Amino acid sequence: MKFNIINVRRIFLDFFENKGHKIFTGGPLISSEDTSLLFTNAGMNQFEDYYLGYKKSHFSRIVTSQNCLRVGGKHNDLEKIGYTDFHSTFFEMLGNFSFNDYFKKEAIFYAWELLTGINNFNLSKDRLLVTVHYQDYESYKIWSEDIGIKSDRIIIIGDNKDKINYHFSDNFWQMNNIGPCGPCTEIFYDNSINFSDKIVDSNVVYSKRFIEIWNIVFIQFNRDIDGSLIPLKIPLVDTGMGLERIVSILQNVYSIYKIDLFNNMITFIADLIKCNDLVNISLRVISDHIRSCIFIIQDGILPSNEKHGYVLRKLIRRAIIHGYMLGIRDSFLYKLVSFFIHCLKLNNYLIKLDVNSISSVIKSEEDHFSRTLQKGFLLLNKKLISLKTNVLDGKILFELYDTYGFPIYLTKEICLKNNILIDFIKFENCMSEQRKRSRMYNNDTTKLKFNGLILSNYSSVFNGYINFEITSKVLLILVSNKMVKDIYTGQKGIIILNETSFFFESSGQISDIGILKNNNGIFRVDKVKKHGNVIFHIGVLISGNLSVFDIVCSSIDKFHRKCIEINHSSTHLLHSALRTVLGEHVVQKGSFINHKYFRFDFFHKKSLTTDELYLIEKIVNNYIRDNISISTTYMNLNDIRLNNIIFLFGEKYKQEFMRVVKIGNISYEVCLGTHVKRTGDIGFLKIISEKGISLGIRRIESIAGKYAISYIQSLHSKINLFSKLLNSNFNNLENNLISTIKNFNLLKKILEKNKKDNLNKNIIFLKKNIEVFKGVNFLFNYLVNLDINDLYKIMYILIKTLNKIIFFLFTNIKDDYFFIFYISKNLNYLFDKKELINFLSSKFNCKICFNSDIGNFRIKNDYFIDDFVNEIKYWIFGKI
């Protein structure tokens, strides 16, 4: 049999199913909001809560094939990609798991049987080698005595002797800096011709000769925030085998980049860019990164500067740079998407998004980054030109690398060509600062630790889907972020209960509000958040006092809840209507739901036409009028996938059984949110707006229930007012409005024409009024009721057509006269203009604005204007 991705995956799942394991679908690639991981990095992630004892698994034996991404945090293979034969950012991990069932012996026996069994993978036993943790004598004995492996082929791996890093050896596996962990035993494949030689140096296991294929972890501890290892109560097994790796061994190619899937993708890139070197590292990097990008983008992530989006951006940019190194200068990555998706689908990968949506995200990042790359080149050139010594500041190398994504070797190479040295010490300093900053993110325990509070010690249960008032116990009170025994009137704080009716902020939905009360006091809850398994009621004590261990009634504001429910159920109906009208590619990208309105973001390229929007609105309102019952049920991931139920990343997926909200046969969505009982409860929905918010993502804003009614009423009253103003009845409003606008435009035209005529008349009149004195043209005129703009227009025409002129024109504005005046430049010799300004301002006690030859001023119209004009006139005549 030719082994390939599809049949090796199948053989693995079937093998363990025959051993009593339940086949589970792998969890989503994007980790949910409440884990400390960005991306799923191992098959066991989705079972974390089972391992930690927060939840009990319904199955004690499970097997999965899990999509993983190792590009950050504790498990980061990014820098290795292309340089080793067995690392890829994205990979599929085959794993079997035991919860309080079998332990070391069975786990080891199962792995051995699958790898070496004649009807299974049939690998030569002589080529296999194992490692065990130095304290795990039990595993050592199983390998040597029960399986019969020679002692030189069982390598004992010790811990790092450094006390601080105690238990950080290669054979002690941890999902992250905190969480489930334990010793492991690993199986390696010996790829050398001398595989039967005795092994004398155990370090050889880390050489290229050995390929790590299977990691069997015995999860025995939970590492807490302070680094301590808390023993777990039940025996747990977590194993992981890289699908691509084992396929590469079974296909005798010993490199994941040579298995048929990668071989096809790499050959395609090489053909596209006309490169003959099929083992080129850059080709491997590009193929790896674009494969990962496809999986990330299809889970709703877009390139950005934080979290998942940052990783996606980094992968696209690294791929571009490797393209650059292969001599490519134009956008090309987006051209790979279609073929890659085709290859992935051939290997039974679920690709939900269409080629265009994915390639357009990549293309836009490519176009954008090419410009950035150019900027990086320019910056480096500029810095090199302005260098005073032959040493480049390490900070510049860092800036180019960090801000522009400019590869270090590229800077090095350019410097080398220019005989420039680089201050690497400074560069290293900048890098270590950067590492510190990023460690702060990776170790971000705010999700698990709240101001010194170890959250795993507490847990609260939300039981408020139908119970709006629940009697519960106060577990903890925080005031000014400190644990206190009592909280008093006026104090703001946080109260944690063992059980609550308050829904917390999640799934885009705002939290409930309400009160916690007993006979001693009332706490007003303004906001509710969940961290780990703990629900925080945030608010203020409005009367009396409350204490830890008090029994209180948690009572939500029912009307507020109802309004939120109306909006949340509306989003599900809208989602379904959007898919009906626009197509199945419409996938929710995000939402925000409060009691007044909701926003719904989704993938779609074009803006929606009014007809489309009306149709969508109509469909939703039909659903509402059909008064369909809304129910919730719990399903496992498998059934969710099989039934094509809408399942968005970020949902709480870790439960074995997830809450599915079902609206008749219209909508099935995995959702934790609160919903109305029947669609009729929504009453009515109105879409308010639709717009694009980023590339390929549209946003609809909508209101429902009483807010939608108020909105329609306010529109109606506005229309009534317009009808009244237009003296029209409602039915004729449109025609009346059109004819009014037409009339208005006509009148505007007439008015403009009249104005123009008036202007011309005024000019003719003014020209006639010119007095000539000693060869200078004088004009002193009052123009009644002219607007200032027209006054200036007249002035400019006069200036253009007359030479040697001094004029004062003025008009009336309210209770004032507004003057503008002008003195031709060629009359400068007559008198000092400053003198005139002084004369005017002292005479009329006003501010004169004057700019070389044009001026203006404004005076009260209680002057005798003729006398006034004469005074100016004679002052000037007197000067000539």
Cα separation, 813 vs 822, whole angstroms:
20
Q: How many residues bind ligand SER (CB under 6 A)?
A: 10
For ligand SER, the closer CB: 42 or 672 = 42
> Taking contact as CB under 6 A, which single stretch among the options 130-138, 192-200, 235-243, 254-262 is the one that binds ligand SER?
235-243
Beta strands in 411-550 (DSSP E): 421-422, 449-450, 453-454, 461-462, 469-479, 482-484, 486-488, 492-497, 499-500, 514-517, 521-531, 534-547
Q: Give CA 450 to chain center in angstroms.
A: 24
Cα separation, 873 vs 871, whole angstroms:
5
Binding mask 202-231 for ligand SER (x = CB under 6 A): -------------x-x--------------
For ligand SER, the closer CB: 44 or 243 = 44
> Taking contact as CB under 6 A, which single stretch among the options 232-240, 409-417, 489-497, 660-668 is the one that binds ligand SER?
232-240
Structural tokens at position 24? 């589970």
* Cβ 8 to ligand SER shortest distance, Å: 17
For residue 80, give the 3-state DSSP assignment: helix
> Taking contact as CB under 6 A, which single stretch among the options 42-50, 102-110, 681-689, 814-822 is the one that binds ligand SER?
42-50
Closest CA to 284 of 4, 3, 84: 84
Selected binder of ligand SER within 29, 42, 487, 676 (CB under 6 A) = 42
Site for ligand SER in 306-365 (CB under 6 A): none
> Taking contact as CB under 6 A, which single stretch among the options 15-23, 36-44, 247-255, 770-778 is the one that binds ligand SER?
36-44
Cα separation, 500 vs 459, whole angstroms:
11
Query: Contact between 96 and ligand SER (CB under 6 A)?
Result: no
> Taking contact as CB under 6 A, which single stretch among the options 11-19, 164-172, 237-245, 478-486 is the one that binds ligand SER?
237-245
> Taking contact as CB under 6 A, which single stretch among the options 2-10, 233-241, 612-620, 676-684 is the one that binds ligand SER?
233-241
Query: CA 699 → CA 119, 561, 589, 669, distances in Å?
Result: 54, 24, 9, 19
Where are the alpha helices (H) located in 330-403, listed in sequence order? 337-346, 355-385, 394-402
Contact 679, 569 (CB under 8 A): yes
Q: Which helix (H) or strand (E) holds 132?
A: strand 128-133
> Taking contact as CB under 6 A, which single stretch among the options 39-47, 476-484, 699-707, 857-865 is the one that binds ligand SER?
39-47
Mark 403-432 as b/e (b = at least 16 C-beta within 10 Å).
ebbbbeebbeebbeeeebebbeebbeebbe
Cα separation, 249 vs 256, whole angstroms:
9
For ligand SER, the closer CB: 183 or 464 = 183
* Cβ 173 to ligand SER shortest distance, Å: 5
> Taking contact as CB under 6 A, which single stretch among the options 37-45, 410-418, 585-593, 661-669 is the one that binds ligand SER?
37-45
Binding mask 596-635 for ligand SER (x = CB under 6 A): ----------------------------------------
* Cβ 186 to ligand SER shortest distance, Å: 8
CB atoms within 10 A of CB 760: 12
List of residues 6+ apart from 785 with CB closer than 8 A? 811, 812
For ligand SER, the closer CB: 66 or 460 = 66
Strand 776-782 relative to strand 805-813, pairing: parallel
Q: Among all chains, which residue has been given the structure tokens 């691509």? A: 244
Structural tokens at position 284? 């491997």
Structural tokens at position 710? 């108020």
For ligand SER, the closer CB: 181 or 478 = 181
For ligand SER, the closer CB: 95 or 508 = 95
Query: Contact between 238 and ligand SER (CB under 6 A)?
Result: yes
> Taking contact as CB under 6 A, which single stretch among the options 41-49, 53-61, 409-417, 810-818 is the one that binds ligand SER?
41-49
* Cβ 260 to ligand SER shortest distance, Å: 25
Query: Contact between 43 and ligand SER (CB under 6 A)?
Result: yes
* Cβ 180 to ligand SER shortest distance, Å: 9
* Cβ 48 to ligand SER shortest distance, Å: 11
Query: Contact between 44 and ligand SER (CB under 6 A)?
Result: yes
Contact 89, 292 (CB under 8 A): yes
* Cβ 62 to ligand SER shortest distance, Å: 12
Query: Contact between 91 and ligand SER (CB under 6 A)?
Result: no
Selected binder of ligand SER within 173, 404, 450, 780 (CB under 6 A) = 173
Query: Contact between 169 and ligand SER (CB under 6 A)?
Result: no
Selected binder of ligand SER within 240, 303, 683, 705 (CB under 6 A) = 240
* Cβ 581 to ligand SER shortest distance, Å: 43
Q: Among all chains, which residue has been given the structure tokens 């329609």? A: 712
* Cβ 707 to ligand SER shortest distance, Å: 49
Query: CA 788 → CA 778, 820, 821, 837, 839, distances in Å?
Result: 21, 9, 13, 21, 24
* Cβ 42 to ligand SER shortest distance, Å: 3
* Cβ 14 to ligand SER shortest distance, Å: 19
Q: Give CA 177 to chain center in angstroms.
A: 24
For residue 72, give the 3-state DSSP assignment: strand
Please report how many Cα atoms fall inside a 13 Å half-sphere around the Cα of residue 482, on the Cβ side: 6
For ligand SER, the closer CB: 176 or 567 = 176
- Residue 361 has φ and ψ, to the nearest 5°, of -65, -45
* Cβ 214 to ligand SER shortest distance, Å: 8
* Cβ 170 to ligand SER shortest distance, Å: 11
Q: Which residue is nearest to ligand SER (CB)?
A: 240
Cα separation, 313 vs 369, whole angstroms:
9
* Cβ 239 to ligand SER shortest distance, Å: 5
Give the DSSP per-residue string, 744-806: HHHHHHHHHHHHHHHHHHHHHHHHHT-EEETTEEEEEEE-TT--HHHHHHHHHHHHHH-SSEE
Query: Contact between 95 and ligand SER (CB under 6 A)?
Result: yes
Query: CA 353 → CA 65, 310, 337, 582, 589, distances in Å?
Result: 21, 20, 11, 14, 12
Structural tokens at position 839? 């004369």
* Cβ 132 to ligand SER shortest distance, Å: 15
For ligand SER, the closer CB: 143 or 780 = 143
Please report, in angstroms and rounded to a whole number, the separation of the first and last CA atoms in the chain.
Answer: 115
Selected binder of ligand SER within 176, 239, 472, 554 (CB under 6 A) = 239
Query: Contact between 132 and ligand SER (CB under 6 A)?
Result: no
Find the largest Cα–Cα distance for the chain.
Answer: 129
Structural tokens at position 121? 């993978």
Q: Bridge-partner residues for 771, per DSSP? A: 778
Contact 105, 96 (CB under 8 A): no
* Cβ 215 to ligand SER shortest distance, Å: 4
Query: Contact between 28 and ligand SER (CB under 6 A)?
Result: no
* Cβ 142 to ligand SER shortest distance, Å: 18
Query: CA 486 → CA 471, 514, 525, 618, 795, distances in Å?
Result: 19, 20, 16, 54, 80
For ligand SER, the closer CB: 170 or 505 = 170
Site for ligand SER in 754-813 (CB under 6 A): none
List residues near ligand SER by CB under 6 A.
Answer: 42-44, 95, 173, 215, 217, 238-240
